[in-house]
Amino acid sequence: MKINDDLFILKNEENYILYLPLKSTSAVVNSDTIKLLNAIDKGENVDPNNEIVQKLKEIGVFESSVYPFKDTLYKPTDVTFLPSFICNLECIYCYSNGGDFVTNKISINTAIIAIEFIIKNALELTKKHISIGFHGGGEPLLYANKHFIEKVIEFTKQKASKAGLNCQFSAVTNGVDIERFNIAWLKTNFSRISISLDGPPDIQNYQRPKRGHNKDSYTHTLNTINLFEQNNISYGIRATITKYSVNRMDEIVEHFCKISKQNNFHLEPLFECGRCKTSKIEAPSEEEFIANYSKAEKVAKKNGVKITYSGIGINTISDKFCGAAGDNFFITPDSFVTTCLEACRLDDNDNAPFFIGKYDEINAKFQFDQSKIDFLKSRRVTGMKSCDNCFCKFSCSGDCLAKVLKSTGDMFDTSNNKRCKITTALTEEIIKDSIC
């Protein structure tokens, strides 16, 4: 008998938990079972008809790991546009320093070629739908970007319809300029809009102030949430948690429950980059985030909602954290193609690995660097030694490529990744709760 290579044993008070992530299976066992497993692992003779052995067989402890992951060619059927780096806020942690510099804008012609590209890919892959996103960079749903967004949506709908494809549109927004858009138009065209809101007014206005004399962004963002609620527009709320706000995470969740009918709120710890260098805002310590996430979770349960963080998700197994690993098709204001939203400016050397192509105006097509795509596609948790013995390996999937790269200098090495402590602690709690 050989024990599954991806069996993990977690301590649970006086007992233990056997966790098989690839089988989405967990079981509580006692110390006798652990002794039996140790004996088998050492090659000692164990009766295969032993009752405990039979039960372990039933849950797959002695089956070989089968990885259900497939490698695919780079044929994106989704595209996300970063219209410009212009922004009406001056968030103290902005990864792209949005609004600080003169910026280009994506041209309609570039967008048209991108849309035709993903439609061609969808037809070749016999897919039924394509999706278009708008993100920052700067603030995508600025009124100044309205014409671009309208043209993209109009063109996509026409082309997708002729090709027999469904299409959907999503966006991320700070919610400050939405009041200038036609709400009925937003509802008709967007399947989902994610709103960035960091908490009650004092937190929001400190961390996400408006540019200019009047720093109050909270009032505008709240108005947008109210409009979305009144018009049944599908949306979500995401908060960035800093050292300034971490001890109020429970209050933040309580506040969200009061102003929104959503049943899930995203709380993400700050990763120091971009404007953090000048604002000096700090990320919460791992211990602070873990402790306060637990408090916030109690508030969430009391209100019948859930909270999430990007590093956890045991119900979905994967060998890659996200599409940054050689799948995404994100177009920057300078018409470069990046696979990572946080890596949207080439003036940061750490971002270079994610820039896989550029729009070629002369030939009216996107040119890609296949060697860069291949490199990113090789970043799979099954090949990352520092993740070998981690029970989160198939849910965290090696964590965020950009954050690991900035933390350790090597996107394949998570050994000094501070987020690991947060991810393992919170994932362990989820596993324990799931078997209660």
| CA distances, 163 to each of 52, 58, 76, 278 (Å) | 57, 48, 16, 49
What pLDDT does residue 277 have?
A: 86
**Of 191-200, 273-282, 372-381, minimum mean pLDDT range:** 273-282
| Segment 190-220, tens digit of pLDDT | 999 999 999 999 999 999 999 988 999 999 9
What pLDDT does residue 137 have?
A: 87
Q: How confident is the model at residue 363 (pLDDT cuts 50, 70, 90)?
A: very high
Q: Answer whether residue 404 shows pLDDT above 90.
A: yes
Q: How confident is the model at residue 114 (pLDDT cuts 50, 70, 90)?
A: very high
Separation of alpha carbons 154 and 82, rounded Å: 18
Write out the E strands in 250-370: 264-269, 306-308, 330-331, 336-338, 355-360, 365-368
Closest-CA residue to 234 (of 198, 188, 200, 197): 188
Q: Answer whether residue 436 shows pLDDT above 70.
A: no
| CA distances, 124 to each of 23, 73, 77, 118, 128 (Å) | 32, 12, 10, 10, 11
Which two structure tokens, joined as six digits, stand for 14? 């006086």
Phi, psi of 105 (to 5 degrees): -130, 145
Average pLDDT estimate for 365-377: 97
Average pLDDT estimate for 373-400: 96
Edge-first strand order for the sheet with 8-12 is 8-12, 15-20, 25-29
Closest-CA residue to 319 (of 379, 373, 375): 379
Which neighbouring-strand residues pair with 129? Answer: 166
Average pLDDT estimate for 296-313: 96
- pTM, to two decimals: 0.94
pLDDT, mean over the chain? 95
What pLDDT does residue 35 have?
A: 95
Q: What percent of the chain has pLDDT over 90?
A: 87
Q: How confident is the model at residue 316 (pLDDT cuts 50, 70, 90)?
A: confident
Q: In angstroms, how far is CA 174 from the centroid of its own chain?
A: 17
Average pLDDT estimate for 329-335: 96
| Segment 127-178, tens digit of pLDDT | 999 999 999 889 999 999 999 999 999 999 999 999 999 999 999 999 998 9
Domains defined for the chain, CATH in brackets = 1-66 (no CATH), 78-309+326-371 (3.20.20.70), 385-436 (no CATH)
| Segment 224-271, tens digit of pLDDT | 999 999 999 999 999 999 999 999 999 999 999 999 999 999 999 999
Phi, psi of 195 (to 5 degrees): -105, 130
Q: Answer whether residue 314 shows pLDDT above 90.
A: no
